[in-house]
Amino acid sequence: MSMGAEGDAEGPGEAYYTKIKELIEAGGIEEAARLFDSLDPPSAYAVTLRLSSDERYRLFAKTSLGSLAEVLARLPDEVVYEIVIVKGVDEVLKILLSLPLDEIVDVLEKLPPRYRAKLVELMPRELSDEVSRILRYPPESVGSVMTPQVPVFNWNTKVGDAISVYVSRDKLGLYDRHHYIYVVNDEGKLFGWIDVKTFLTKPKDATLKACVQKPPAVVEVTRDREHAAKLAVDYDLLEVPVVDHGGRFLGAVTLDDILDVLVNEYSEDLLKFGGFIEAVRGSYIALSPLKLTLRRVPMLLYLYAMNAITGSIVASFTSTIERLAVLAAFLPMLADNSGNIGAQASTLILRSMALGEVRLSRIDAFRVLLKELVVSSLMAFILGPMAFAIAFGVVWFTTASVATALRVSLVVVIALIASCYVSDLVGAFLPMLLARLSVDPAVASAPLITTIGDIAAATVYFWVAAGLLFAASA
């Protein structure tokens, strides 16, 4: 099997990574650099991520990095910084000047401020002004991902004149990838758009004002970039026009950026739901163990403190456990069950909110309440008999007392039913509450909801147990 075939079977660049790593370790850095420069961008990207930092430093010093140009904006912050350190700002500037404007901005945002400022200063004046304008927008805003390099014409322009300008500018590479021609009025406000194919077939003497149609949706430049991606999905758009607060046209969020936004937002939400307070930027493979640890520890410390509440609840019922030690055997089962129920509910609501199926309204909140109450009841109806049977079997086998087995089984079932309702409703409404408070609902992480479920299960379980045992002894 050839190296190319192996790479396809194992993933982009996998076989090349092994070969390049062996060459670097053997001192064949020049040969490794030639092989790296011959790779296609996806393979070069994969190899770069898998090499160690020291190996990358040695390789970058000998390569032109032309194979990485197309994927430079996708590389982790650490790797982009290494490239600047090794190649210097002048070499990096040459690569940046070959990229679309939005990708230039993406790369610059990965760099420390002093390097970013130096690169912007060295750019041609017109490009520098455009880059600086986009860099002023917050990183999560629409402005940070839009491109102003799309065809824009005044509404009174004749189609023939517009085509002539469009063709000449397109040949010079002055436009990013696009699907539409944008038309503005005399004040620069967006009037309409027309797809490129239709534009080129319109009568040459017609004005653009008579040829365009109103876009299905537009997005303000300061809105969250996720909103632009959602509009593209809702209206099935290849591009989303961007305007300022006064309706003046500024640029467009194109399909490649829409896809990047969707992937990034999904990744961030997934990490937050997994218990990361701060999203991990870049590749897992390229990140150092120390940085991964620093991202994971804060939530673990917070949850450890939260779990102290569960511990204090259990400790407060020591006398109850001493009277019937077998009670302790069922707490982990109840806690895990309640945590799983809460995490399931939260996942479903987060997904529905992301798709626009559930909105932050009283009507939808009431619908969620009714639906989850029914779901909780059905789950309790299904899980209750199984929990009763398991508890009865364990206690009867341990104590040989049918009366004790019945009482403990009843306690387990009551606690399970109560924790089902509490965990399900908390899991369903916590994301909605956070969104209402303008907090990212994805921070309603699975570990956090699980901890709340643990607290609810332990409280109900031992409270019911103490009450039934007291009643029995009385």
What are the pLDDT digits (tens) for 30-75? Answer: 999 999 999 988 889 889 888 888 899 999 999 888 888 888 888 8
Distance CA 9, CA 361 (A): 49
Closest by CA to 339, choosing from 418, 454, 431, is 454
Q: Which strands, in side-by-side order, build the sheet including 249-254?
A: 219-220, 239-243, 249-254
Q: Does the reported pTM lie above 0.75?
A: no
Does the pLDDT of residue 423 top 50, yes or no? Answer: yes
Q: What mean pLDDT, rounded, does the chain reach?
A: 81
β-strands 249-254, 180-184: how paired?
Answer: unpaired
- The confidence score (pLDDT) of residue 348 equals 81
Does the pLDDT of residue 323 top 70, yes or no? Answer: no
What are the pLDDT digits (tens) for 176-229? Answer: 888 999 999 999 999 999 999 999 999 999 999 999 999 999 999 999 888 888
- The confidence score (pLDDT) of residue 5 equals 39
Distance CA 24, CA 32 (A): 6
Distance CA 354, CA 341 (A): 20
Domains defined along the chain, listed by start = 3-136 (1.25.60.10), 152-254 (3.10.580.10), 289-473 (1.10.357.20)
Q: Which residue has better confidence, 394 or 107?
A: 107
β-strands 239-243, 219-220: how paired?
Answer: parallel
What are the pLDDT digits (tens) for 247-295? Answer: 999 999 887 777 776 666 655 555 555 544 455 455 555 566 666 666 6
What are the pLDDT digits (tens) for 87-119? Answer: 999 999 999 988 888 889 889 988 888 999 999
Task: Give me the helices (H) in 97-153, please.
Answer: 101-108, 113-122, 125-135
Q: How far is CA 86 from CA 91, 93, 122, 242, 321, in A?
A: 10, 13, 18, 37, 64
β-strands 239-243, 249-254: how paired?
Answer: antiparallel
Distance CA 202, CA 206 (A): 7
Of 10-14, 233-237, 324-328, which gets the smallest average pLDDT? Answer: 10-14
β-strands 249-254, 190-195: how paired?
Answer: unpaired
Q: Which residue has better confidence, 395 or 307?
A: 395
Residue at token pair 């009714």: 370
DSSP 369-436: HHHHHHHHHHHHHHHHHHHHHHHHHHHHHHH--HHHHHHHHHHHHHHHHHHHHHHHHHHHHHHHHHHH
> Are the C-beta atoms of residues 229 and 258 closer than 8 Å to each other?
yes
Q: What is the mean pLDDT of residues 442-459?
A: 71
| Phi, psi for residue 344 in degrees, rounded to 5 | -60, -45
CA atoms within 13 A on the CB side of 287: 14
